[in-house]
Structure 1
Amino acid sequence: MNKKIILAAFLTGTLALSSCKTNKTASAKASSETAKSKEKDNGMKPYAKVITKDATTDEGLFKVHQLDDKYYYEIPNNTLKKDMLLVSRIAQIPSNLGGGYMNAGSKTNEQVVAWERFQDKILLKVKSFSEVSLDSAAAIGNSVKVNNYEPTLYAFDILALNPDSTAIVIDVTKFFSSDIPALSGLSSGLRSSYKVRNLDSDRSFINSIKSFPENVEVKQDFTYNASEPPSNGSVGSISLQMNQSMILLPKEPMMPRLNDPRVGFFTVDQIDYSSKALKADEKTYIRRWRLEPKDPEAYARGELVEPVKPIVYYLDPGTPENLKEYIKQGIEDWQIPFEAAGFKNAIIAKDAPTMEEDPEFSPEDIRYSVVRYVASTTRNAVGPSVSDPRSGEIIESDIIWYHNHLRSYRNRYLLETGAANPSARTLDTAPEEIGEMMRQVIAHEVGHALGFPHNMAASFAYNVEDYRDGDFTQENGIAASLMDYARYNYIAQPGDENIRFVRQMGPYDAYAVNWGYRVIPGATTPEAEVETLNKWIMEKAGDPKYKFGRQSSSFDPQSQTEAIGNDPVKASSYGIKNLKYVAENLPDWTSESTNDYDDLEELYGEMLGVWSRYVGHVVTNVGGVNEDLKKPNQSGTVYSNVDKQTQKESVDWLVDNVFETPEWLIDPAIVQNIDYAGYAETMRALQERHLTNLLSLDRIGRLLNAETVATDYYSAVDLFDDTRKGVFQPNGKLDIYQRNLQRAFVDHMSSLMTGEMRRGRSGGYYDVNQSDVRSIVRGELKTLQSTVRSKMRGTSDTITRFHYDDLLSRIDMILNPEK
């Protein structure tokens, strides 16, 4: 080829390449100018004009920039539309806010949010997973979306893009310093109670914002102007510190586990519109931590394996040193039940790191689960948790222990076990015994945080006489589950030896942990697990130690709070026998030791409550319905009425122990040293409470319903007849307690003639006007008229005759209201 031609071709190519580069540079410049022009048109500024060199930056999930008192989020584009959990908690609280049942660490709101871009704004959207389309390809998913439009919590102007346009800068100062109800620690009820007028902006500010790899933590100081604050009334305001935790939820939710009501778990619900069922299919998943074995193969072989990420609880830095040992034991007591599920060291207790060890540590940081020790006079402990609503995965939890709860346990220990337990007969309970009680309470609350609700049937698993057997109680405790409200062994009698009086873990706890937490190899969907989960239940079906009883079953004598043993009449008889011994000795154990009546007064009041609980356990037998949760392939029915003989015996017991005045409760050695009057009123209120409970509309309704399913039953007529005879059996002169109780009976008859059954859960209400209630009450009142007239003729005591005459007038007004 001619060299000139080659040279010309080379020059032409070079010029073309140069022209191409020039055009690209010009194009990029033009594009940049267009972007800048667009930013300007949308109110955006250059990044360096917003986030200046004076800004302090904290790297993490978002970059958080601070300039003087302004805070900016630099939100990466790749986090937009991702699900995040926003949890609002009280970090510091004024005295007595919420009546003492709120504290530092109390959660006030929990919601899933996502950041979304709309034109020149960033929207913070609140998301719900209660109604979903689990089949992403199903066409109905669009209908679910448009019929469940997600509300916008806040809209932010986009101030700038970062230099490479991969992140958006917004100002969050106003958002976190305004009175936004979703972030506020004051509910509408509290605002009304304390007459809150408004947020005082001059005394409210952002305390700090810290960014971590998966979460951002915000602390705000809020002061509200209030006319009636809970404390420091002269200030006329309420100040509290809030903590907002925003954590990125896992991209792939944990595989959920379908709930089975025969095993007790807290749950999350979803309505799946993409289900193949001919309806919107409600799915209920259990709430649980994500535990995955480090060595899946060894786990599948049945070996104990540590989890990839154990559950870790830190102790509040404010925890008294002498109690730390017991709190740690209470947490790690759950290691044994987790071994039943194949995990070792699944749950661990640690001291909170010191400032030197970790200056970033905060109990409010959602990355940490903490046992909070609250300096409060409230007597309580709770175990709340935060979970992913998409799957039920528990993300974090805080156990709350209120300082004065120790007092509750000392008092109940003395009252319920003092007769049979000499070490409980003191106001200065031994530290190791208090520690053991605290250990079990902490373990109970940790159980809630692991996903377990109360199992009120667990204490019904054991025979009453077993509680007097030292070997049995040492091995089995006082309930088949720590999650029952069975605190103490109040059945054991003086002279019984080697008795365990305090609750402990039981066989149900290991069973429930295995059912909820064991990884089922090969199961890749919740539905694929069901066969195995059902098999585990059926293996234990019929054994009362593995039964779950719902706390809401107020009609079921098998599932009662604070009860122990499988025979309420026998258990309460033992309990009251012990309580009589305690009442006789209470002054010696209190005022004689302290030369002060304060403890006597406090314990006497609580003793009345203990007696009342024992009585209530027997009342539940009457009109009682046993609830035994089961599937159709199991024999027997879910609901069965308590047998007639047990109900009759229960009413007779109530007549003997409640309606015949329990005068031992009004011991002059006690009452005349703690109050100048009111003894008769105290007894009246106690007797009336149980009388009206026994003759309540819902109980009568269940007795009426029994006629439809049984041939030999304790009827509503039987109940009224036995109760009336018990209340009106005394002859001759009546004392003030008997007169009060009889008036209470007649007054309650009046309320039954006009009362309406309130709406309750399915089957729990009925039309009283169209039922037999009014006719039974009318018949009872007419019978009572004859009884009262006869008794009136048989007494010469003036006050008793006045009383009977008054009763006749009251009965006449009920039967003839228009006279």
Structure 2
Amino acid sequence: MHLHIPKAGGAIAALTAFFFLTLSTTIRAQNIDTAAIKAMVAGKKDTAKSKIKPYKEVVPATAKTSKGFFLIHKVDDRWLAEIPDSLLGRDILVVTRIVKGPTGYYNLLKALAGALSYAGDAINQSVIRFERLTDDKVFLRSVSYIEHSDDSSANGLHQNVQDNNVQPIEAAFPVKAVNEAGKSVVIDLTDFINSESEVLYFNAQLKPFLGLAGLAADRSFIQNIKAFPMNIEIKTVRTYNGAPGTGVHSYELNSSVVLLPSNPMRSRPADLRIGLFYDSYIDFDADPQAVRPGNHIWRWRMEPKPEDQERYLRGELVEPAKPIVIYIDPETPKKWVPYLIQGINDWQSAFEKAGFKNAIVGKEAPVGDSTWSMEDARHSVLLYHASPIENANGPSIKDPRTGEILETHINWFHNVMQLLYNWYFIQAAAVDPRARHPHFDDSLMGTLIRFVSSHEVGHTLGMQHNFGASSTVAVDSLRSKAWVDAHGHTPSIMDYARFDYVAQPEDGIDENGLFPHIGDYDKWTINWGYRWLPATISAEAEKDTLNAWIVRQLASGPQYFYGAQTNPFNPMGNPNNPDPRDQSEDLGDDAMKASEYGIRNLKRIEPHLMEWTMDRHDDYGKLEAMYSALVGQYARYMGHVLKNIGGEMITPKLPDQQGPVIAYPGKEKQQRAMAFLNTQLFTTPTWLIDEKLYSLGVGDFDHVAKIQTAVIDGLIEPSRIHQLLQQEEALGSKAYTVTGMLHDLQSGLFSELADGKPIDAHRRMIQKYYVNKLVVMLGADTSVRREVQSTSDGFTSIKTSAKALAASIKQAMPRYPAGVMHEHLTDLYDRLEGTLKPRN
């Protein structure tokens, strides 16, 4: 894109000339006395200094002082900060979290919707600097690192970037006093903290989402401010008027003001071939003739102690200078604490691959220690929330300059246990008798908690989901006890590969093989992200070393493959990943085989749903939930198979790696996928029609019908048709074509027509739905038609398939001379003909 700047001609030139002429005339006419100006400026300085009072007058002996990197003085109801001159201009991270969330039904709904309402939720994060730009004021700037240049040479752009990125001044503080030594200034923070500053509190975009209107200043106040060596903790109560009908909302908040390291950690560039979170920025140094995106991964500062560096480089295991310690919320139910700690400590084996022992430790939080606080940004904590949310997550706070993770507050919601129950029951009850109960014993539930704890801790270490990990394991291996005991059913606990649902009762696989563990991929990723390199190695040499590690490791085995959750080449524009290897909740290298085994186990569980999940005091709501969970698992199997049709396999590579970056599932595999859907889904799955459950008001066949219609939508949606056309363009006769896919689909959906077999009500419904989709796609003035029409051959294939179907229906109608089936086929034929016949 080019920016065209108009030439200064005509009216613009005249206006410009007039402006400068007037300006110069004014300057000349004033005949300014330079000495007078100097005197005026000196007078202003004297006035400013006169407003600065003696230190002891501002900070009297009666002040209550908290000592940290700033001194915090409380004088009456005012909160003063004494800022050393050495810390002016230093980067400071501000993180505000909820200490206590608002009560009320409305806030419960917000929490269920994922809004910020629970203790530990971060509502704001920003970087600031204090600067003394004039004698009488200290200014607070907010700081952004979106544009980056370190090159200050004659050809570099460092100064240019600085000049064109003036950071905004958010607040100004009059200097109240200067200490006797003249090495620090005192300012009053009270009014700023009590204001509606977006540096500290909810921003304008977040407030409406939370139903917050204006601040009720008379019910908002500062509770306490406490200083520590590297951080200052500000506790406040904030009360907001709510949106109409929502009442008033009061929060207790804690703002951690953290001094960022004066020696920033060396950043490490991200790589698409390995799944670590990263920050992006605009890099003006990477290419002297272009502007490139830059990035750095998120990781903790993991370094050997100076005295251990030589031992470390020789390959000996050493303890890090600063291990990662994660405390468990003291309000956590005691019986779950050991399992949560085990989930944290399980990562020690991964850090040993990076050369560090005892690198991460889970601990119980200190009890009765007034110097320890969960809100203190120096401490990482797993927070236990009494919440109906079925989830857990592992956010972390990082230094935006380098990606250094500074701390984590893992959110653990009590009702995640319901989710764990559902997962394990549906996926493992066929092979594990312990799962066949309305409530799991503490040992089983504790082991489930340990697994999720490990997964969330992985996120806090910087690891993304690896949805491709489980696809590297052969389905037959998932039924081998020896294999899963040795390797696990997935090489990454960061995959959504919950439990080994492929295992059959006769395989004898126990808990060790059913559960995911920290695997080969996880250990390799921690090694790549955390292995320490000496500061003497250049940035270019580091890139070469990191690349060599990846090339060597990926060549050594498929278990090190990383499959992104989103499209690695277009995560923002079209985040959907078309790669059938990279799926959530799947297992194995063949979705058809894995799903068939999974369905066998669902068929074993379904007849026992009431027996295995119901207490005598339960109502049928729980049974309804478990039936829905079972049908939902069946739906996932269909989705796993569907993604193979028209799929595109993306494997990011650099030129020193062999093989294609883009590939496609084979034609035979896609044909098997369509055959699977015709057999397992479009042929009425009568095993899911449970009249006994229906009689109790539990479920109905609409559960299955919705899956059938969703898969039909997915098969003939414009994007999949486009993907199939791309394959045909790339592979020619070796491709699975749109025409071939539609032929196979119609042959399955209308298989009764060939020999006049009865068409049951379920089949009639799905046939009507399919024909209606064709009518919509071929009809005039629809967005769907326009999308498909733009692909040309796709529209032709749909129209040709519709004509073929109409002919097949017409030919079959004599086999159904009367009754509901005859009327059904007549209806379908009329719909198709009405769309296909030429319009006048």
Q: What's the CA shift string for 1:484-526, capped at 9, x where partnerless? A: 1111010011222143211111111111111111113465333
| Aligned residue runs from structure 1 range 239-254, under 5 A | 239-254=250-265
| Cα distance between partner residues in 2 of 1:749 and 1:152 | 59
* Residue identity matched to 1:112: V
| Cα distance between partner residues in 1 of 2:803 and 2:769 | 17
Is the 1:587–1:669 contact (alpha carbons within 8 Å) kept by the matching residues of 2? no
Aligned to 2:69: 61
Is the 2:152–2:159 contact (alpha carbons within 8 Å) kept by the matching residues of 1? no
Q: Is 1:143 matched up with 2:160?
A: yes
| Structure 1 spans left out of the alignment, 5+ residues | 1-33, 759-764
Q: 1:80 to 1:698 in 2, by over 3 A?
A: same
Aligned to 1:116: 131
Q: 1:772 to 1:310 in 2, by over 3 A?
A: same
Aligned to 1:607: 630
After the TM superposition, list the runs of 4 or more consecutive aligned residues in structure 1 that deviate by more than 6 angstroms. Answer: 34-37, 816-819
> How far is the alpha carbon of 1:201 from its aligned partner?
1.0
> How far is the alpha carbon of 1:591 from its aligned partner?
3.2
| Cα distance between partner residues in 1 of 2:160 and 2:240 | 42
| Aligned residue runs from structure 1 range 755-774, under 5 A | 769-774=790-795
How many equivalent residue pairs?
Answer: 770
Q: 1:75 to 1:766 in 2, by over 3 A?
A: farther
Q: 1:315 to 1:591 in 2, by over 3 A?
A: closer
Aligned to 1:655: 678
* Residue identity matched to 1:111: S
Q: Is 1:775 matched up with 2:788?
A: no
| Cα distance between partner residues in 2 of 1:327 and 1:140 | 49
Q: 1:671 to 1:181 in 2, by over 3 A?
A: farther
Q: Is 1:532 matched up with 2:545?
A: yes
Aligned to 2:78: 70
> How far is the alpha carbon of 1:733 from its aligned partner?
4.7
> How far is the alpha carbon of 1:783 from its aligned partner?
2.5
| Cα distance between partner residues in 2 of 1:148 and 1:816 | 64
Aligned to 1:22: none
**SS of aligned partner of 1:317:** coil
> How far is the alpha carbon of 1:48 from its aligned partner?
3.5
* Residue identity matched to 2:528: W
Q: 1:744 aligns with which of 763, 766, 769?
A: 769
Q: Is 1:347 matched up with 2:360?
A: yes
> How far is the alpha carbon of 1:768 from its aligned partner?
5.0
> How far is the alpha carbon of 1:276 from its aligned partner?
4.5
| Aligned residue runs from structure 1 range 578-727, under 5 A | 578-591=601-614, 596-675=619-698, 679-711=700-732, 712-727=734-749
> How far is the alpha carbon of 1:336 from its aligned partner?
0.7
Aligned to 2:330: 317
Is the 1:100–1:376 contact (alpha carbons within 8 Å) kept by the matching residues of 2? no
Q: Is 1:272 matched up with 2:283?
A: yes
Q: 1:116 to 1:42 in 2, by over 3 A?
A: farther
Q: Is 1:376 matched up with 2:406?
A: no
* Residue identity matched to 1:225: N
Q: Is 1:47 matched up with 2:55?
A: yes
Is the 2:479–2:504 contact (alpha carbons within 8 Å) kept by the matching residues of 1? yes
- Larger deviation, residues 732-741 vs 504-513: 732-741
| Cα distance between partner residues in 2 of 1:185 and 1:529 | 40
| Cα distance between partner residues in 1 of 2:209 and 2:336 | 38
| Cα distance between partner residues in 2 of 1:818 and 1:211 | 80
Aligned to 2:29: none
* Residue identity matched to 2:141: K
> How far is the alpha carbon of 1:182 from its aligned partner?
4.2
Q: What's the CA shift string for 1:366-418, capped at 9, x where partnerless? A: 10010111110101111111111211111111111111111111111111111
Aligned to 1:564: 587
Q: 2:471 aligns with which of 431, 436, 460?
A: 460
Q: What's the CA shift string for 1:240-283, capped at 9, x where partnerless? A: 22221111111121111122221211112232213453212332
Q: 1:789 to 1:162 in 2, by over 3 A?
A: farther
Is the 1:683–1:737 contact (alpha carbons within 8 Å) kept by the matching residues of 2? no
**SS of aligned partner of 1:495:** helix
Q: What's the CA shift string for 1:58-85, capped at 9, x where partnerless? A: 1112111223332222222211111111
Aligned to 2:233: 217
Aligned to 2:16: none
Q: What's the CA shift string for 1:641-692, capped at 9, x where partnerless? A: 10000000100100111111212222112232134xx724333212111111
- Larger deviation, residues 343-352 vs 167-176: 167-176
| Cα distance between partner residues in 2 of 1:253 and 1:40 | 36
Q: 1:508 aligns with which of 511, 518, 521?
A: 521
**SS of aligned partner of 2:507:** coil
> How far is the alpha carbon of 1:747 from its aligned partner?
3.2
Q: 1:364 to 1:583 in 2, by over 3 A?
A: same
| Cα distance between partner residues in 1 of 2:153 and 2:393 | 42
* Residue identity matched to 2:217: S
Q: 1:66 to 1:671 in 2, by over 3 A?
A: farther
Aligned to 1:366: 377
Q: What's the CA shift string for 1:694-746, capped at 9, x where partnerless? A: 22222111110012221311011111121122222234553332232123213
Q: 1:412 to 1:285 in 2, by over 3 A?
A: same
Q: Is 1:470 matched up with 2:481?
A: yes
**SS of aligned partner of 1:730:** helix
**SS of aligned partner of 1:104:** coil
| Cα distance between partner residues in 1 of 2:601 and 2:443 | 24
> How far is the alpha carbon of 1:43 from its aligned partner?
4.0
Is the 2:438–2:615 contact (alpha carbons within 8 Å) kept by the matching residues of 1? no
Is the 1:185–1:242 contact (alpha carbons within 8 Å) kept by the matching residues of 2? no
> How far is the alpha carbon of 1:469 from its aligned partner?
1.4
Q: 1:238 aligns with which of 234, 249, 258?
A: 249
Q: 1:104 aligns with which of 119, 144, 147?
A: 119
Q: What's the CA shift string for 1:209-236, capped at 9, x where partnerless? A: 111111111122111111357xxx5xx1
Q: 1:308 aligns with which of 321, 339, 344?
A: 321
> How far is the alpha carbon of 1:770 from its aligned partner?
4.5
**SS of aligned partner of 1:258:** coil
> How far is the alpha carbon of 1:817 from its aligned partner?
11
**SS of aligned partner of 1:399:** strand
User: Please, what is the CA RMSD of the aligned residues?
Assistant: 2.5
**SS of aligned partner of 2:357:** coil
| Aligned residue runs from structure 1 range 187-202, under 5 A | 188=205, 191-192=208-209, 194=211, 196-202=212-218
**SS of aligned partner of 2:172:** strand
**SS of aligned partner of 2:799:** helix
**SS of aligned partner of 1:87:** strand
- Larger deviation, residues 525-534 vs 464-473: 525-534
Percent identical: 37
> How far is the alpha carbon of 1:611 from its aligned partner?
0.8
Q: 2:339 aligns with which of 305, 312, 326?
A: 326
- Larger deviation, residues 571-580 vs 101-110: 101-110
| Cα distance between partner residues in 2 of 1:581 and 1:530 | 53
**SS of aligned partner of 2:256:** strand
| Cα distance between partner residues in 2 of 1:674 and 1:83 | 61
* Residue identity matched to 1:640: A
Aligned to 2:828: 807
| Aligned residue runs from structure 1 range 181-192, under 5 A | 181-185=198-202, 188=205, 191-192=208-209
Aligned to 1:153: 170
Is the 1:698–1:757 contact (alpha carbons within 8 Å) kept by the matching residues of 2? no
> How far is the alpha carbon of 1:189 from its aligned partner?
5.2
Q: Is 1:290 matched up with 2:307?
A: no
- Larger deviation, residues 697-706 vs 109-118: 109-118
TM-score by length of 1: 0.89
* Residue identity matched to 1:124: L
- Larger deviation, residues 549-558 vs 561-570: 549-558
| Cα distance between partner residues in 2 of 1:595 and 1:221 | 42
